[in-house]
Structure formats: structure tokens, C-alpha cells
Amino acid sequence: MTDDILIHNGLLLTMEDGLPVIENGAVLIRDSQILDCGPENQLALDLGRVHPGNRMDAQGGIIMPGLINCHTHIPMSMFRGLADDLPLDVWLNGHVFPAEATRLNPDSVHQWSLHSCQELLLAGTTTCCDGYFFEAQVAMAMADSGIRAVAGQGVIDFPAPGVPDPTRNIQAATAFVEEIRNLSARITPSIFCHSPYTCSAATLVAAKQAAEDAGILFQIHAAETQNEIHLIKGLNNRSVIAYLSDLGLLNERTLLVHSVWIDDQDIEIIHKHAACVAHCPESNMKLASGIAPVPRMIDAGITVGLGTDGCASNNDQDLFSEMDMAAKLHKVICMDPCVMDARTCLKMATIEGARAIGLGLQTGSIERGKQADIIVVDVKKPHMVPMYDPYSSLVYSAKSSDVSLVMVDGIVRVREGKLL
């Protein structure tokens, strides 16, 4: 017998091109990678070689890729519910920044990052893309938890937790990249500029150059609020996206977070440079930031992933509710019930999300050679019955509590809905 793992007896959604639905599907895993997948009776499978303890019965549930959270600030679970029902500027300047100044330290960041990783894993999220301060402690918590992640060190032109001298913000970011580069194969470093109104043009350019030199993802909040254009020095009647483009910040390794206040010209710029977007509908709604023109971005060929944002501006990190909200929000704003269909939303939370954060070759779909980041969703609960279309059921009916099994890198992290 071998150490191969078999997940079987389920409805398999691979999220490959064409979005097949495979009855009686199975996935064979070896050494953290997907060795084979498809209908169980068509797998090159010798059951005698799979130890009985490594045969995982999906019990008729949906076998699918783990979800990808493209934007969050995981230590901010310590601020969950701290200052709700406030405008973004009041919430950020009057509550979040002061709380961060007094409560953030390496220990608290590590503790609450672990807490968030548990929340994410239990909710079926196997990969997250984070940006915050004391990010080395965040990355260590991610590595300890078993989640896959992109960890971005925060850059801002003000004294920040862990970087009291803002003139050293780029140096701190590059030092972070080198510090965690070999921490874990599951953890990828990144540089995260907070926004174009909290970072000068010189800082933005230097941070992007540092990311390019390291060949890693550059993240930035962009065009989040209508008032943002009044806060950026040197905009000179340009849009936020045009400003970032003129600074040379946009390419396939750039993740634009929010991108709410953009027009067709901005969409053309983003597409031209192959930059990607993280859509955070619940956070945008809660802070009344606006509604990003996501259907138009997708129609233009832009890669758009789904994110929760941090727990201070969303209150949870549940991508199932985020998918449901994204689908319904855009239907009502477009007055079109066909827009943002279930398949589109599930792609945003899986393969498109993986591509947006630079991990599309590793995860986001169940395909031979990819890492075994897999979840099983229970479909026997009353709210999941009957199931005419698994994609619709996952987006409009499923809850994060329906996730029964979570595997990252071939290692089971959640079984029967409980953390191991």
C-alpha cells in the first residue's frame, strides 16, 4: 500500500475550462499533488494500493477546489465589530488607525492571525491574500495553520506598527520578503501599498520596483471611494487608475483592490496592462463605498477575484456569503437577473481568484499536477435539498458551515466540520 489519498463518492466540480459536472467523481492525491481526477470508474486506480485510512468518502457531497480569498487583513479579526455603521474616513481615521497604534504588537498579530486562519479554513477557504503590518508574524501564523497564502507587508507614509520610521517603509518591506521567502512552500511574499492617498508617488514607484525586483505580487487599495480623488496629491485631473498607470504600477503582477470608482476608460487601462482586481462587495456595501462595475470588467477580459476584506469592515471571512452577495448586488444594480450568474461567481472564488493573486498554476481548480487544495460540501442539509444545479446551490444556498472536509497541500485540516 502507498500513502496515496483518495477522495471519492461525490459530485466533482473541477472548475476547469468548460466547468464540467462529474457524477461519481473522485480525486487521487500523491505527495500533496493531484495525481488524477474524474469519474471514479475511469481513474487509473488500484484501490489495493490506497490504505483504507486514506480513502475519504464524500458521502454524495460536492468535491471542489478550496475557495480563494483575494483580499483580507487577517489580524483585524481583533477589531471585529469595533466601529460599525460609520463612513470610511471616520471609521479608518477615528477608530481603526488609533486602535492599531495601541493594540498591535507581534504577539497580538500572531494570535489573531491564527484565529482568522481557523475561521478561513472552517469556511472552506484554502488560500488567502493578506496585506497588513507585522506581516512576518502573520506569515508565521499562516504557516502554522496550514493554509496557503500570499502575505503582503504593508507600506504607508506614516509611522506604522512595526515601522515607526516611514522613511524605512520600503526597506522594511524588502527585508520582510527576504525573511519569509523560504518560510514555507505554501506562503508567498508580497508588497502591499495601503493606497495612493496614504503613499506618495515616490513611495508607490519604489514599492512596485521592489516587488518587480523580487518577482512578486504588488497589492494596493485603489479607487475605493468617490472622495479618493480629492485626497491624492498630484492627480492633476486624472483618474486614480490613470495616475497609477502613469506611475508604471500596472502589470500582470498588480492586484487592484476594490476598484469601485472607475469608468470604461479605466477598465481599458486595467485590461491593457493585464492588472487584476479583487472585488469586496460586502465591505464596499457596509462602508457605503459604492458598487464596482464588475460585470463590465469581466466582459472586458479583466481577471477579477473575490475578497472579504478584513473583519473590521465586513465582520466575517465567509466567501459563500460573499458569492451570494456579489451575484445579487450586481443583478439589482444592472436590473438584469442574468448578470453575474452562479458559475461566474464561483469562478471568482476559485480559479479566477487564484489567477488574480498569481497562483493560478498551483491552485484554484482540480487538475492533474496542481496542489491538492480541496473541499467537500455537504449537500444533505435541508437548505441544500433539492439540488438541480450544483453551481446555483453553492452560490445561493450553501453556507460555510456546510463544509465538511478541507484539505490543503494534501493534508486534511478540517474533517466533519471540525479543525484537526
Q: What's the pLDDT band for 45 if we cut at 50, 70, 90?
A: confident
Residues 6+ apart with CB under 8 A from 290: 225, 226, 260, 261, 284
Model pLDDT, residue 207? 98
Which residue ranges form the domains of the chain, and what is each CATH number? 5-66+365-419 (2.30.40.10), 67-356 (3.20.20.140)
User: Which residues face 305 on adjacent strands?
Assistant: 278
Does the pLDDT at position 56 exceed 90? Answer: yes
pLDDT 10s digits, 210-246: 999 999 999 999 999 999 999 999 999 999 999 999 9
Model pLDDT, residue 128? 98
Model pLDDT, residue 362? 98
Amino acid at position 166, single letter: P
Model pLDDT, residue 262? 98
Does the pLDDT at position 48 exceed 90? Answer: no
Does the pLDDT at position 91 exceed 90? Answer: no
**Average pLDDT estimate for 92-102:** 89
List the grid coordinates of 65: 477546489
Answering whether pTM is above 0.85, one says: yes
How far apart CA 312 and CA 112 sit, in angstroms, is 13
Model pLDDT, residue 49? 77
How far apart CA 40 and CA 24 sit, in angstroms, is 6
**Average pLDDT estimate for 163-175:** 97
**Average pLDDT estimate for 315-337:** 97
Does the pLDDT at position 1 exceed 60? Answer: no
Model pLDDT, residue 44? 72
How far apart CA 384 and CA 398 sit, in angstroms, is 7
Q: How far apart are the first and last CA of the chain?
A: 24
List the grid coordinates of 140: 508565521
Does the pLDDT at position 5 exceed 90? Answer: yes
Antiparallel, parallel or unpaired: β 254-258 and 217-222: parallel
How far apart CA 289 and CA 87 sit, in angstroms, is 8
Furthest C-alpha separation in the chain: 69
Q: What's the pLDDT band for 283 if we cut at 50, 70, 90?
A: very high
Model pLDDT, residue 212? 98
pLDDT 10s digits, 177-211: 999 999 999 999 999 999 999 999 999 999 999 99
Does the pLDDT at position 46 exceed 80? Answer: no
Find out whether 266 and 241 touch, Cβ atoms under 8 Å.
Answer: yes
Amino acid at position 111, single letter: Q
Return the percentage of the chain with pLDDT > 90, whole number: 92
pLDDT 10s digits, 61-72: 999 999 999 999
SS3 125: strand
For the ranges 2-6, 269-273, 286-290, the one whose mean pLDDT is highest: 269-273
Calculate the average pLDDT of the chain: 96
pLDDT 10s digits, 389-415: 999 999 999 999 999 999 999 999 999
Amino acid at position 337, single letter: P
Q: What's the pLDDT band for 87 if we cut at 50, 70, 90?
A: confident
Does the pLDDT at position 118 exceed 60? Answer: yes
Find out whether 378 and 384 touch, Cβ atoms under 8 Å.
Answer: yes
**Average pLDDT estimate for 21-25:** 97
Model pLDDT, residue 89? 82
**Average pLDDT estimate for 381-391:** 97
Model pLDDT, residue 2? 67
